[in-house]
């Protein structure tokens, strides 16, 4: 496998390279590190991708150790030598789990999250952590720990949130696998907007121990470039005995319902996405599926987790810290955490009065009942019509359904649409939603659709000649941290009612830091 062959590489193609001796894990990791160096902070007059938060200092040693293992025993593990990035709110021993906030840059994890331990046991090489919307609050590309992340197809565009870093890193070929965390559309939207494959699994299928601020809605899941790779990673991360079956790949005889309404929520198709969506339905029929139009899920309530539950999770997290901020009041007093939803909360009067104690969650039992009733309504409708899956566009309001039913949702590339406001051509994501614990059916349908349509379009990133020196991980980390401080300092100089930094201002801040620190790419 030559250097060019690393782009769009799959687990199977890499393992074949390992078996034949044409490739080593060290060489593959070095390729990805060099690509991060050349592309993650490149501007050329536009904002950078800025998808990486931190790189594991021992990643090269881990790769070398993997090479020694394979020299002695061959490829014996399902993810042996596979580079993996994880979202910034997933604990990786020795790295900060900052949840996108500069204020938490000191929160170094002492041990791996449960899912990271599973990945390591399967032979994966953890590359580091990636960007996310600050505290996972909102769907924009901002987090004070790194600044702003840019869409991989046009960095002026939003990349979706909150798992934007994992989706950008995978689509940009900075690694092979990434892990995001989804509370509501947090995996689905970034994967869709960045031309990747993403899965929000059934809640409980992938353990959430070691995920910062995890609640009853939280479901970690994989982001990859292909359905085949996604299925392999899911098998590794899934809790043993959780009910996941192997991927069948069957489509003939499957019945797929086109969801038009869930409860009081209309699943509208934006005009610019109508053509690719209708083509997707025709493609499913061509694959042998029966497409059932006009499905309405009656009895579903699209109501989310109570704010009290999130407040209690925040209080517990802050109180466990060994340094400030230790309370909600201190956190928001620091001010200007990031643009978007988090910044708006910091301005609200309640932020100054926020109690630093857990509150009785009087809505907890009510929310659990809503989830049970929603699950029953989903199963009832699918059983009555004999449906194997529901299909709809990967859009934020639509993705609430998987949250309130705790059912799996998978997004796969399905063409492109034109953003009329900017003229950017961006990917369309097609979502499949199924019964709880029935990921196998979704993966099978999506894999057949992916193989038939091949809509995944690698981004055209300008990787021009530059420094051939290996990436200096310490310097890269220093640049990232300096960018975060520069952005915060710049925002502090603005009035509290001013708009967030423009993409042009952010780009200028990044260029200034790179010049000052002598960052060569």
Tell me how far the alpha carbon of residue 429 is from its chain's centroid.
14
> Angle, nearest 10°, between helix axes 473-492 and 25-39?
30
Cα separation, 89 vs 115, in Å, equals: 12
Cα separation, 259 vs 431, in Å, equals: 10
Helix or strand (DSSP H, E) at 429: strand 425-433
Query: E strands of 251-386, at which residues?
Result: 255-262, 265-266, 290-297
Report residue 169 as tokens. 């890193």
Q: Per the residue annotation, which of 97, 171, 186, 219 is the catalytic one? A: 186
Cα separation, 343 vs 325, in Å, equals: 16
Helix or strand (DSSP H, E) at 261: strand 255-262
Neighbours of 60 (CB within 10 A): 19
* Angle (CA) 88 91 96, round 5°: 60
Per the annotation, the verdict on 186 as an active-site residue is: yes
Report residue 5 as tokens. 């062959």
* Angle (CA) 470 84 453, round 5°: 110
Q: Per the residue annotation, which of 54, 97, 162, 402 is the catalytic one? A: 162
Q: Per the residue annotation, which of 87, 163, 171, 306 is the catalytic one? A: 87
Per the annotation, the verdict on 319 as an active-site residue is: no
Report residue 136 as tokens. 């996972």
Per the annotation, the verdict on 77 as an active-site residue is: no
Active site residues: 87, 162, 186
């Amino acid at each position: 496998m030559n250097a060019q062959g690393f782009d769009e590489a799959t687990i199977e193609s890499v393992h074949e390279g390992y078996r034949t001796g044409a490739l080593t894990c060290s060489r593959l990791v070095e390729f990805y590190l060099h690509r991060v160096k050349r592309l993650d902070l490149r501007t050329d007059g536009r904002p950078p991708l800025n998808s990486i938060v931190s790189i594991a200092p021992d990643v090269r040693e881990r790769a070398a150790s993997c090479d020694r293992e394979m020299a002695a025993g061959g490829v014996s593990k399902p993810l042996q030598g596979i580079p993996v990035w994880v979202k910034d709110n997933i604990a990786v021993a020795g790295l900060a789990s900052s949840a996108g906030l500069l204020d938490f840059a000191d929160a170094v994890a002492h041990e791996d999250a449960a899912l990271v331990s599973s990945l390591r046991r399967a032979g994966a090489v953890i590359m580091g952590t990636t960007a996310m919307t600050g505290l996972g609050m909102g769907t924009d590309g901002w987090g004070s720990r790194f600044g702003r992340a840019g869409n991989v197809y046009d960095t002026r565009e939003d990349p979706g949130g909150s798992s934007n870093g994992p989706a950008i890193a995978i689509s940009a070929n900075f690694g092979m696998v990434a892990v995001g965390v989804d509370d509501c559309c947090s995996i689905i939207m970034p994967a869709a907007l960045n031309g990747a494959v993403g899965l929000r699994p059934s809640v409980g299928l992938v353990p959430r121990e070691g995920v910062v601020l995890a609640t009853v809605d939280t479901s970690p899941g994989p982001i990859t470039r292909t359905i085949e790779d996604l299925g392999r990673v899911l098998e590794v991360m899934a809790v043993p005995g959780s009910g996941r079956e192997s991927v069948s790949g069957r489509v003939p005889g499957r019945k797929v319902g086109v969801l038009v309404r869930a409860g009081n929520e209309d699943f509208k198709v934006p005009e610019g996405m109508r053509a690719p969506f209708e083509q997707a339905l025709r493609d499913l029929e061509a694959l042998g599926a029966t497409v059932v139009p006009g499905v309405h899920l009656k009895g579903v309530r699209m109501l989310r987790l109570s704010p009290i539950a999130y407040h209690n999770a925040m209080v517990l997290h802050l109180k466990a810290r060994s340094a400030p901020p230790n309370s909600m009041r201190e956190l928001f007093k620091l001010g200007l955490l990031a643009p978007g939803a988090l910044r708006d909360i910091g301005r609200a009067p309640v932020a100054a009065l926020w109690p630093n104690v857990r509150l009785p969650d009087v809505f907890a039992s009510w929310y659990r009942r809503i989830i049970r009733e929603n699950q029953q309504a989903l199963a009832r409708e699918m059983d009555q019509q004999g449906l194997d899956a529901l299909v709809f566009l990967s859009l934020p309001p639509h993705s609430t359904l998987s949250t309130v039913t705790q059912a799996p949702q998978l997004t796969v590339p399905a063409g492109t649409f034109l953003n009329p406001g900017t003229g950017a051509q961006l990917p369309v994501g097609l979502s499949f939603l199924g019964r709880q614990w029935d990921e196998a059916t979704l993966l099978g349908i999506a894999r057949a659709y992916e193989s038939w349509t091949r809509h995944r379009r690698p981004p055209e990133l300008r990787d021009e000649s530059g420094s051939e020196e290996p990436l200096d991980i310490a310097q890269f980390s220093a640049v990232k941290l300096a960018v975060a401080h520069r952005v915060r300092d710049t925002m502090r100089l603005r009035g509290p009612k001013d708009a967030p930094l423009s993409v042009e201002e952010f780009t200028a801040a990044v260029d200034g830091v790179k010049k000052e620190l002598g960052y060569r790419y």
